[in-house]
């Protein structure tokens, strides 16, 4: 029986090791029949990505440093050389200096701030621009965010500000790329135990808090993130169910753009569904058009 993504082609950026969310997403895509283009950062990651790629339906592995325009131009050429449409892009990239995650935000240096913004937020814009020419039949671009973008999370610091910038970029990219039938979405997976998360000071304590506040009393499994991205990221339906992180936060969504918060507890249905949670049992996810609305007091309001 053909998989859900049989015949689809996906580009996945950000695989670092077998514990990374990008690998879990790649595994979910591959399991459902999608063929993949994978990227790696420098020779130090090449061998690890090549090893992981052996267990996936990989058609190409290519280097890509998103801070270098030459690498992004080469990525565009690589995608064009495949001679087929690109259906999905998964952006799972973020970086901040460890010292900027271990000291008060007010002490963040200019260079550290700009680095976090470039790798964690602007890279989505750069990757979208590089990949869009290959998405001739439309498709989706999905990135990963975190609740620290909208709430103060102890020790998340400069990365929280970068994630806020990333989410704003999602909305503007969705507006720009919508006419080409390219949807842009962000999924917030909650605090997941990965090699990258250990860079955050007191990450073990943060994980314990996340588990304590989850109705199922456990953290999100990377495989669940993979399935959520697979289901929402590559299909064209305007409705899609994914687990939602409690307490329920308003999720802005439309057929073209959405930001979902996920965790092992409840179900969020975009556009018109209900999202059960511990704190707001029947919080509705409101639909909106990015370029025409703004929000006040958590409720969508049509701009005049």
pLDDT tens digits for range 256-266: 555 655 544 33
3 in any annotated domain: no
CATH of the domain at 72: 3.40.50.720
- 283 forms beta bridges with 275
1 in any annotated domain: no
pTM assigned to the model: 0.78
pLDDT tens digits for range 104-154: 999 999 999 999 999 999 999 999 999 999 999 999 999 999 888 998 888
| Spatial contact of 269 and 239, defined as CB atoms under 8 Å apart | yes
Residue 94 has pLDDT above 90, yes or no: yes
2 in any annotated domain: no
Give me the mean pLDDT over the 281-297 stretch.
32
Catalytic residues: 146, 156
The three-class DSSP label of residue 303 is: coil
Write down the pLDDT at residue 201: 58
* pLDDT-derived band at 80, boundaries 50, 70, 90: very high
The three-class DSSP label of residue 103 is: coil
Count of H helices and E strands in the chain? Answer: 9, 13
Tell me what percent of the residues of the chain surpass a pLDDT of 90. 53
Which residue range is the domain that position 78 belongs to? 9-302
CA distance 155 to 182: 35
228 in any annotated domain: yes
As a three-state string, the secondary structure of 227-292 is HHHHHHHHCCCCCCEEEECCCCCCCCECCCEEEEECCCCEEEECCCCEECCCCCCCEECCECCHHH
Number of domains in the chain: 1
């Amino acid at each position: 029986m053909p998989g859900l993504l049989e015949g689809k082609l996906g580009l996945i950026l950000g695989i670092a090791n077998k514990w990374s969310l990008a690998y879990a997403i790649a595994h979910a895509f591959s399991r459902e029949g999608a063929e993949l283009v994978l990227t790696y950062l420098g020779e130090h990651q090449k061998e690890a990505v090549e090893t992981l790629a052996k267990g996936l339906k990989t058609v190409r592995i290519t280097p890509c440093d998103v801070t270098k325009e030459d690498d992004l131009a080469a990525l565009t050429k690589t995608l064009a050389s495949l001679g087929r449409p690109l259906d999905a892009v998964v952006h799972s990239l973020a970086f901040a200096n460890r010292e900027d995650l271990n000291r008060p935000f007010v002490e963040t240096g200019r260079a550290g701030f700009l680095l976090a913004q470039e790798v964690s937020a602007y890279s989505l814009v750069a990757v979208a621009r590089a990949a869009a020419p290959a998405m001739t039949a439309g498709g989706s671009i999905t990135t990963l965010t975190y609740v620290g973008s909208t709430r103060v999370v102890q020790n998340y610091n400069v990365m929280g500000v970068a994630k806020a910038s990333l989410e704003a970029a999602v909305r503007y990219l969705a507006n720009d790329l919508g006419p080409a039938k390219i949807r842009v979405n962000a999924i917030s997976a909650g605090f997941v135990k990965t090699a990258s998360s250990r860079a955050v000071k007191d990450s073990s304590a943060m994980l314990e808090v996340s588990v304590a506040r989850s109705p199922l009393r456990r953290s999100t499994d990377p495989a669940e993130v993979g399935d959520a991205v697979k289901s929402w990221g590559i299909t064209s339906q305007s409705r899609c169910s994914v687990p939602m992180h409690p307490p329920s936060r308003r999720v802005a969504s439309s057929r073209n753009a959405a930001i979902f918060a996920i965790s092992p507890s409840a179900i969020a249905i975009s556009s018109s569904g209900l999202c059960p949670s511990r704190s707001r049992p029947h919080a509705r996810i409101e639909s909106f058009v990015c370029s025409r609305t703004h929000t006040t007091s958590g409720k969508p309001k049509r701009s005049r």
